[in-house]
Structure 1
Amino acid sequence: MTKYDKIKSSLLNRLNELEISEENDVEFEKTELSNYDNHPADNATDLTDQHTRLALRRHFDGEMDDIQTALTAIEEGTYGKCIECGEEIPLARLEAVPTTLTCVEHAPKEVDQSIRPVEESLLNSSTDQPVNNEDPLLRDYANSFEELEEVGSSDSPSDKL
């Protein structure tokens, strides 16, 4: 029994969970036989659910690849050694992140912030441009409401007391 048997067991359990979730995910691909009588909001909800499942599936596929790589390293006897420097990876790190193949010093330090969802460009498009081309004649002065209220408002006379 090696010192990595417990980690190997947890990796195999997680891999089994991911494979079972992948099998179960197939039956939820399509919710309706026909979209003819559906409200557009129902179709939008279905589409959102499909996108969520797709994003989760991609995440789980990446996790499965990482687990397979770690299991291969265990079988080859290279697990627990940093692939960059060859130093021993502390057992506490391996227990915390069982799929890691690098020591803390060689772990990726930064998340690539350039990989952002396409939707963010649309959400931020209205705030990206400063408002420099305002019409100077269209200004709201501090007493605009009071000046207009003298002409009339929808308030009743009792509201002015």
Structure 2
Amino acid sequence: MKADRINYFKRRLHEEKEGLIKQISGLEKAGLDLALGESIGELSVYDNHPADIGDELFERSKDLALRDNAHILMEDVESSLKKIAAGTYGYCDVCNQQIPLERLEALPWANECIDCQRDEDGSTLARRPIEEQLLTPPFKRTFLDNDEDDSIGFDGEDALQAVMRYGSSDSPQDLPGTHDYEDLFSDSDEQQGIVDHTDAIRDHYDRQPNKGKL
């Protein structure tokens, strides 16, 4: 690549770097460098009141994503500047072929040619934490309904239902078919301790005051 083209892309990379620095600084000055409670001035951000700060939580998540994306771009820009200093700018990191000028015009910080980039994107469409293979779906570690032994014991799902009997942040509108705050959990109509209503007949008669008398 000719020297004038190198200087052109170097100048664009420095401009992009300055813009990213300003973006990150602006996001942090807007309150992103503070804890959520401090940035919004709320006295209480308990888990059972998520709707009270729904808008603030959305904006916070959006700003975090923008800052993370800016940091990722910053790494690519700095990597390209190092390549210019080393004399290797404009070559694909994978196949070592020269990256077309049209691609560099669009993305001066591109480290791969379009073909290698497509191959990488196709193989990493779902970048999720590896632990999710064991944790998904929720309570998989203790969800025993579908295990090999067909377990019917008290598992993680039952534990969640047990604590939800004492209340949650849900309201009747969140669970279709419920009309009472005492029924805001799964299987609220389940008869605990019995399999069928006939199983409770003996307990009913055992509690009678004249039991055992003829």
Specify the TM-score bucket, using the shorter chain as the normaliser. 0.5 to 0.7
Instruction: Give distance in 1, aligned partners of 2:42 and 2:80.
Output: 44
Structure 1 vs Structure 2: percent identity of aligned residues? 27
Instruction: Give distance in 1, aligned partners of 2:97 and 2:123.
Output: 24
Shift of 1:62: 0.5
Q: Is the 8 A contact 1:83 1:102 kept in 2?
A: yes
Q: 5 Å matches for 1:6-155?
A: 6-29=8-31, 30-35=38-43, 41-109=51-119, 110=122, 112-115=124-127
Q: Is the 8 A contact 1:31 1:46 kept in 2?
A: no
TM-score scaled by length of structure 2 = 0.48
Instruction: Give distance in 1, aligned partners of 2:6 and 2:82.
Output: 13
Shift of 1:44: 1.6
Give the secondary structure class of the aligned counterpart of 2:4. coil
**Which protein has greater RCO, CA pairs closer than 8 Å, 6+ apart?**
1
Q: Is the 8 A contact 1:67 1:99 kept in 2?
A: yes
Aligned residues: CA RMSD: 2.8
TM-score scaled by length of structure 1 = 0.61
Aligned length in residues: 119
Question: Per the alignment, do residues 93 and 58 of structure 1 end up closer, same or farther by CA in structure 2, a change over 3 Å counting?
Answer: same
Q: Is the 8 A contact 1:35 1:43 kept in 2?
A: no
Q: Is the 8 A contact 2:76 2:111 kept in 1?
A: no
* Deviation by residue 1:104-147 (Cα, 9 ceiling, x = unmatched): 3322421623236x9xx89xxxxxxxxxxxxxxxxxxxxxxxxx
* Deviation by residue 1:27-50 (Cα, 9 ceiling, x = unmatched): 2225433335xx864412111111
Instruction: Give distance in 2, aligned partners of 1:11 and 1:102.
Output: 16
Structure 1: unaligned runs, 5 residues or longer:
123-161
